[in-house]
Structure 1
Amino acid sequence: MFVRHIAIVGSGPAGYYTAEAALKQWSEDVRVDIFDTLPVPFGLIRTGVAPDHQSIKGVSRRYETTALSENVRFVGNVTIGKDIAIAELQDLYDAVVLATGAPNDKKMGLPGEELPNVFGSASFVGWYNGHPHFAKLDPALSHDTAVIIGNGNVALDVARILAKSQEEFEGSDIVAHALSALDASQIRRIVILGRRGPHQIAMTPKELGELGKLARACPHVDAGDLPDEAEDAALDPGQRKSVGHLRTFAAAEPCADHDIAIEFDFFASPKAILGTERAEEVEVERTRLEDGKAVGTGETYRIPAGLVVACIGYQTSKIPDVPYDDKAGHFANQEGRIAPGLYCVGWARRGPTGTIGTNRPDGFAIVEKVAEDIGEGSGKAGRPGFDALADSRGVDYVKFTDWQKINEAEIANAREGSPREKFVAVEHMIDVVSKD
């Protein structure tokens, strides 16, 4: 019997839950290498979860326990498909599991979406969360109105971040460049567009409830958009509670005592973004529901807006030589199997659905399939083989102990009231690692 060698590409929740499952499956008879393009681990926990939701980010402590196992290794600052090919990983490891998530924005397919100051939520959230790929986004917040397209929790996160005062960011790890830009923001009206109605939202009660507690912002819902209250009985408890928040917003007094208004515009389908040098207006068509689907009525109107953020979903990054389902926006797979020895898990398998915790059973399920397929292992080179290949190419990777140095430096650099100040440039992270 050989030691099994497992490569996991992606160090977010799906990656670490898969590593945890591998340890439980094979105990001492496995070696797991977790690869990431960035020098820092934890994926969307670090750069996707809202900076003012620190309790959710606390799940990274669980991943750290797995990461510190002698049989698990973090291999950061290595891009699979560029620095190392998938086929090369497959030659070295018994199984390669893609846990790369869905870091790219889905396109809206609207005229004008390429205009300056129109962003997808992955890039906009990455900007205020300090993702190195989006740190230089520099959105203009000088217009009084922002339009957010989408009716999920990410739309609520973006609205809340745009509406918060400086004081309300205490305790968060929002990065300094975003905090400064938001402090100078001229946005006073935030419109959240949804193609369907209140009963079709994908917003959870906690996130909706937070909007009603903001110091300088007031949420508002047009009471005419709400169905008869008796119809709420058909909803599940969570949806019913969410719609209850919307009813509270509709019944509240006008927002005259607040600096910022957050308006829910239901039955509203964006048709185009208009402007010359940047976004200036959003053209919207009024809709109605037919068999649960939004159908255009032909009635259109325009919302002046200098900032547009589309929160309509994500898709997985393609990797050379890995089959991809363009329509679904993730790797082509059969219950996680892509090809012999190649698997996917989490959002890379099923798309951006479920919660962070949903990735745990997904990780355990894929390891069961791997165990069934590889049996007692094949005697592949694994970790030593990768190290030899990386050394021959001059690929210097970041270890978990290196990440701990970066972590300590970020904590030391934190402004008062914040848990850390993230490095937003890879070269600055590497500088920390390089210091003795």
Structure 2
Amino acid sequence: MAYVITQACCNDASCVSACPVNCIHPTPDEPEFATTEMLYIEPQACIDCGACVDACPVDAIFPEDQLTAPLQRYKEINADYYTRHPMPETWIPLTPETPPVRDLGTLRVAIVGAGPAACYAAEELLKRSDVEVDMFEKLPTPWGLVRAGVAPDHPGTKTVTEMFDWSLGRDAFRFHLNVEIGKHLGHADLLAHHHAVIYAVGASADRSLGIPGEDLPGSHAATEFVAWYNGHPDYADRTFDLSGERAVIVGNGNVALDVARILTMDPDELAKTDIADHALKALRDSNIREVVLLGRRGPAQAAYTNPEFLALGDLPGVDVVVDPAAMQLDARSQALLDSDDVEPAIAMKVRLAREFSQRTPTPGNKRIVFRYLVSPTEIDGTDRDPKRVQGLTVVANELVDGADGGLAARPTDRTERIDTSLVLRSIGYRGRPVPGVPFDERRGIVPNERGRVVLAGGDALPGVYVTGWIKRGPSGVIGTNKTCAKETVARLFEDFEARRLPAPSAGGKELGKLLAQRQPQQITRRDWQAIDAVERGRGAVEGRPRVKMTDTAEMIDVGRRRRGLFAR
């Protein structure tokens, strides 16, 4: 019997190093790791030891005889990967790490951000006993997009925070939540109190469509909607027009699929999750019956991953609709599919889309409709004042050879109008400039060489590093950040051991005094633990994982009351 990796796979590769027979691939050392949708276990090589199960931070690995019905397909998906990547000729063996140089004193590092990229970096740093880490986050809560981005109906993905909580629960690590760099502290302040600073601030800016009507009420970035239903304090007071029967999402990546799922799920099922209370109430009153996702290219080039696409087919009361005509692939896509070099993930995308196109819709069900080879050209509004979204025009595309060697979408002269009162754009993200640090406006990242921040001339900026999306752009899943952080931290350790990092002029005590002056309402690790306990306690009463607080003032009050109890 073999073990099987399933939909919840986070790609952090903890299972790879735990496997005694190296049967989990691609590993971080292999080229495919940078683009893989998930990891795979070779069924013939697996020795049924279960080490990978214990190492998996998101409970994504099961014995093949314990797969539930929705997960049965993953036995085939794991095996298919090894048809394309047979053992062992194409694989690079795992290599041991070089032991660190010691006796250099205590290395002090500041990390800006508290999402997965930041936490993996802290975890990697704290493997050494001569390191102290201060983590700064402008929100009153940690975990970044795991808390504010992962869909509430994916609780397994969120369990990675339990690993972070355990890894960061040591005296050498300090949380400084509700502290904004650029407001309460500056870049120079961080370097004055640390040998190095790692920016792990993600890519929080949404890309715009650049079409008329994009700014009309009823047209939003999908990330605003995601933050709203996940209880992000900055978005808790947003409103979205759910009065119409159709919503349109521009884009078909995993975020778009998350939004489509939340809009069509049974609210009673959502009520078992940690979705924000205000969002649950609004969704109970929603009239949305159909969600249309627009993809500018074909099913073979769709941005979603196969596990997320496949899972839509198991939503109760929801049909996934693909027009059979959309499965008449263009010559280039068909040639790619027929090629011996086609990646299994691409072949699976087309196979799943074709399966959905052959299903008969159930009368009365809600619908998630995938439209391929279309792009919006204009969002139009009502005649009322103020105007609101009432529809959008789309143009049919054709695929042509792109400048990068891939296939690009080119508009034709065929257009169509879709009635809707809600348009959500989900077409990608880019980083924002970090004060005091170079920024590449074209790519939307901080320029770097394997994590070392570099100046325009190519020289490294001493003591300044990046990891996560601000380093590499918005690509990969949660676990991808582990390998990314490991690379960055390796560069930082190299510089420390080579004595290239200037010693800080002040230490932890001085930093504490400065923070007390600049931001007396900072939230510490113990404050966060009190907030976490209150949220979980409220959730237990309602049979939910937690009931999220969305008011920063309330969170600060909970932390202060905890301090008062300890002071008595």
Aligned to 2:546: 420
Deviates further, 396-405 or 139-148: 396-405
**Contact conserved, 1:51 with 1:173, CA < 8 A, in 2?**
yes
Deviates further, 227-236 or 312-321: 227-236
Give the match's secondary structure for 1:413: helix
Aligned to 2:523: 398
Shift of 1:97: 0.4
Distance 1:16 1:90 in 2: 20
Aligned to 1:272: 378
Alignment RMSD (CA, Å): 1.7
Shift of 1:305: 0.9
Distance 2:353 2:179 in 1: 45
Aligned to 1:290: 400
Distance 1:121 1:424 in 2: 19
Within-5 A mapping of 1:346-365 = 346-365=468-487
Within-5 A mapping of 1:269-418 = 269-276=375-382, 277-291=387-401, 292-338=407-453, 339-375=461-497, 378-380=502-504, 381-414=506-539, 416-418=542-544
Give the match's secondary structure for 2:234: coil
**Contact conserved, 2:140 with 2:178, CA < 8 A, in 1?**
yes
Aligned to 2:557: 431
Aligned to 2:295: 194
Distance 2:507 2:270 in 1: 45
Is 1:149 paired with 2:243? no
Distance 1:107 1:428 in 2: 34
**Contact conserved, 1:143 with 1:306, CA < 8 A, in 2?**
yes
Q: Aligned pair in 2 of structure 1 residues 119, 394: CA closer, same or farther (>3 Å)?
A: closer
**Contact conserved, 2:260 with 2:291, CA < 8 A, in 1?**
yes
Distance 1:379 1:94 in 2: 5
Shift of 1:328: 1.5
Given the alignment, which residue of 60, 82, 97 partners 2:198? 97
Distance 1:396 1:359 in 2: 30
Shift of 1:268: 0.4
| Residue identity in the other structure for 1:343 | Y
Deviates further, 49-58 or 198-207: 198-207
Distance 1:182 1:243 in 2: 32
Distance 2:322 2:254 in 1: 17
Within-5 A mapping of 1:76-91 = 76-91=177-192
Distance 2:432 2:234 in 1: 14
Given the alignment, which residue of 109, 120, 123 partners 1:20? 123
Distance 1:233 1:72 in 2: 53
**Contact conserved, 2:450 with 2:491, CA < 8 A, in 1?**
no
- Which of 1 and 2 has greater Rg? 2
Deviates further, 64-73 or 286-295: 64-73
Distance 1:176 1:232 in 2: 45
Q: TM-score, normalised by structure 1?
A: 0.95
Give the match's secondary structure for 1:280: strand
Give the match's secondary structure for 1:116: coil
Distance 2:399 2:335 in 1: 18
**Contact conserved, 1:155 with 1:311, CA < 8 A, in 2?**
yes
Within-5 A mapping of 1:11-160 = 11-24=114-127, 27-160=128-261
Give the match's secondary structure for 1:330: coil
| Residue identity in the other structure for 2:303 | A
Distance 1:170 1:209 in 2: 23
Q: Deviations over 1:65-95 (max 9, x none)?
A: 2220211111101000111011111121110
**Contact conserved, 2:521 with 2:556, CA < 8 A, in 1?**
no
Distance 1:34 1:342 in 2: 15
Give the match's secondary structure for 1:367: helix
Give aligned-pair identity as a percent. 40
Distance 2:479 2:301 in 1: 23
Deviates further, 371-380 or 80-89: 371-380
Distance 2:367 2:507 in 1: 56
Is 1:225 paired with 2:340? no
Q: TM-score, normalised by structure 2?
A: 0.74
Shift of 1:248: 1.5
Distance 2:242 2:158 in 1: 27
Deviates further, 168-177 or 121-130: 168-177
Distance 2:503 2:466 in 1: 22
Q: Tell me: higher relative CO, structure 1 or 2? Use CA pairs within 8 A at least 6 residues apart.
A: 1
Gaps of 5+ in 2: 1-103, 402-406, 454-460
Q: Deviations over 1:291-350 (max 9, x none)?
A: 211000021111111011111111223332222222212223233222221111011111
Give the match's secondary structure for 1:69: coil
Distance 2:518 2:355 in 1: 61
Give the match's secondary structure for 1:130: coil
Q: Aligned pair in 2 of structure 1 residues 416, 230: CA closer, same or farther (>3 Å)?
A: farther
Q: Aligned pair in 2 of structure 1 residues 88, 422: CA closer, same or farther (>3 Å)?
A: same
Shift of 1:136: 1.1
